[in-house]
Chain A
Amino acid sequence: MWRIIVNRLAFGVAIVLLITIVVFGLSRAAGDPRNIYLDEYATPEAWDAWGERMGLDKPLYVQYGVWLWDTLRGDFGESLYYDVPSIRLVRERVPNTLQLGGVAFGVAILIGVPLGVISAVQRGSIIDYGVRGFALLGQSVPVFWIGIMMILIFSLTLGWLPSSRNEGWQHFIMPSIALGWLPAAGLMRITRGAMLNVLDSEYIKLARAKGVSSGKIIWSHGFRNAIIPPLTVAALIFAAFLTGTVVIETVFAWPGVGRLAVQSIKNNDFPVLSAIVILFSSFYILLNLIVDLLYAQLDPRIRLD
């Protein structure tokens, strides 16, 4: 187990470093980095001081070292648009994003997993068809379109739910469902497949023959053996969340990090965007790392390999 932990940890660190190299490389690819780190109001003194501090007269690897050291301490430079440290802008918006992400994650699991189990147990029933149709729909339309259609139907036409901002629990309903739909669809399909496989196995037949109640067979014999496959798609689910957060926050004007990222592009605010990309990527890689380790812990075949 320790070897796996060290291995995955090293891989995670390598990926984060690779991302910092990409961001650093891009900041230097546009010529003088001061063009994207300072705005047109910067005084010549500030211009020279920045160059001095970042070691622009030194070789690139020294510049990378200086830049990386700043980055590790959370100094991503000042926002060109808001004139405050980028990290502060990001920090202010993190709670909103985590709240929405957390609720949507709950939605995805609470919808995806039980429906997958029911769909497998009631295979061929109207419920099964409904569930599979729901999954197929979620995987065939873009997330932003789901959001737009929800606003059109539930806010503009029916007037039931608010369409933007974060001001109370009603505001969570549409964004979290729109964000959770695609991950729920993936979970549903994989849970259904895993359940079907398990339910077809010999030990389930034995349990049935022994006269074990069907509730017990489904949940304690079947489901417990069907949780590992859904974990293998966790990485894909996180990726769906990462993209989804940016999209859904834009659609629902949600004051979170994803919307800040899209605004930074419109404002050409490279320091803020670089902060978001590095922090979000690291978080995403950390989540995947945890799932990898959990997976190794749950499945002895991986641990002992």
Chain B
Amino acid sequence: MSIEATYVPSPLDDTLPSNPVLRALRVGWAWTRRYPVVPFAVLVLMLVCAIFAEQLSPHDPLRGNLRAAFTPPIFMDGGTWEHPLGTDHQGRDVLSRAIYGARISTIISTAVILAGGIGGTVIGLVAGYRGGWVDQAAMRAVDFTLAMPFLLVALVVVVVFGQSLELIIVLLVLFGWDNFARVVRAETLTLRESDYVSYARIQGASQARILFRHILPGVVGTVLVIGSLRVGSLILTESTLSFLGVGVPPDTPAWGIMASDGRQHLSRAWWISTMPGVAIFLVVMGFNFLGDWLRDWFDPRLRQLRVQ
């Protein structure tokens, strides 16, 4: 067969530019979206860092050596292999802290996505299937969650209870379930009317069985797509909270805290703030590619077949 699945970003975008540079850019971009090898490698690297932080990091992320403070990265004059990404104002190894930072971001985003995703999906399923007051109540709750200014609420909660990893996770879950609930509800409304669900009902299947065996598989794809697209924004939010001093406790090696620490020493040691930002950028890009890729994967309509 000479038919090959080629990714086309949108039906409108199917003409290739004649300029060779643009053409290479477009083809490269389309190829990366279809086979996101580099973004996935970044995500795998992040996961490996998170799991094996102790084994991978060359130094203790918390203990510094003041005599080695402000060592520049390896590619600059005075850099050493001892500290490939340099050290901060307390002489702590930036690479080791960045590796441990991957762990903090992974813990937070995994916990929030799992709790928010599962909670939101169940609420969306029940609301969409049952309709009536259950649906009304769920959708009102979604509206309220959307309208609440997250950061301000987070600030006032943290000033009362103090910073902790658990508190940040709870806050992010409370503000992170609504998207799942809204989309799953909309899909459930459609699936509920489909013939196979009616047959299951006629056959005498229980409500739980219909929801979890018949409707859930139909929405799982969407949930995974939303989940992976959410991770990027979650990592951005978490790093912002940490930067402001309302995220994880101040001694934790988190990317936002590293960037904040380096701010006072910007003129002397630019790398302290810069490196964690690069890490955040790479990971967020990675998750966005993953989300797009999953969306194409689960939605065959977007995987247009083109005769080559």
List of B residues within 8 angstroms of A67 by Cβ? none
B76 CB-CB contact with A under 8 Å? no
Closest partner residue, chain A, to B153 (CB atom): A22
Consensus secondary structure, chain B interface? helix
| Contact partner, B266, options A156, A277, A285, Cβ 8 Å | A156
Q: A196: shortest Cβ distance to chain B, in Å?
A: 6
**B160: Cβ under 8 A from any A Cβ:** yes
Tell me whether B232 and A140 are in contact (CB under 8 A): yes
Cβ contacts under 8 Å, B26 to chain A: 124
B24 to chain A, nearest CB (A): 11
Determine whether the beta carbon of B266 is less than 8 Å from that of A141: no
CA distance A269 to B245 in the complex (A): 14
- The closest CB in chain B to the CB of A270 belongs to B159
**A235-291 CB contacts (< 8 Å) to partner B:** 235, 239, 242-243, 246-247, 250-251, 261-262, 264-266, 268-270, 273-274, 276-277, 280-281, 284-285, 288
Chain A residues near B160 (CB-CB < 8 A): 26-27, 29-30, 36, 270
A219, CB-defined interface residue at 8 Å: no
Give the interface size class of chain A. 35 or more
> Which of B15, B144, B266 sits near A18, CB closer than 8 Å?
B144
CB contact under 8 A between A280 and B277, given known A125-B17, A251-B263: no
Query: In the bound complex, what is the Cα–Cα distance between A129 and B22 (angstroms)?
Result: 8
Binds A, one of B108-116, B125-133, B213-221, B278-286: B278-286
Within 8 A of B (CB), among A135-150: 136, 140-145, 148-149
Is the beta-carbon distance between A277 and B152 smaller than 8 angstroms?
A: yes
Query: Which 5 A-B residue pairs are closest in the complex by CB-CB distance?
Result: A145-B277, A277-B152, A140-B284, A26-B160, A243-B151
* Chain A residues engaging chain B, CB cutoff 8 angstroms: 11, 14-15, 18-19, 22-23, 26-27, 29-30, 36, 123-126, 129, 136, 140-145, 148-149, 151-152, 156, 196, 200, 235, 239, 242-243, 246-247, 250-251, 261-262, 264-266, 268-270, 273-274, 276-277, 280-281, 284-285, 288
| A–B Cβ pairs within 8 angstroms, 16 of them | A27-B160, A124-B22, A124-B26, A129-B22, A141-B277, A142-B239, A148-B259, A148-B274, A152-B273, A196-B10, A196-B12, A250-B244, A262-B155, A265-B158, A269-B159, A284-B149
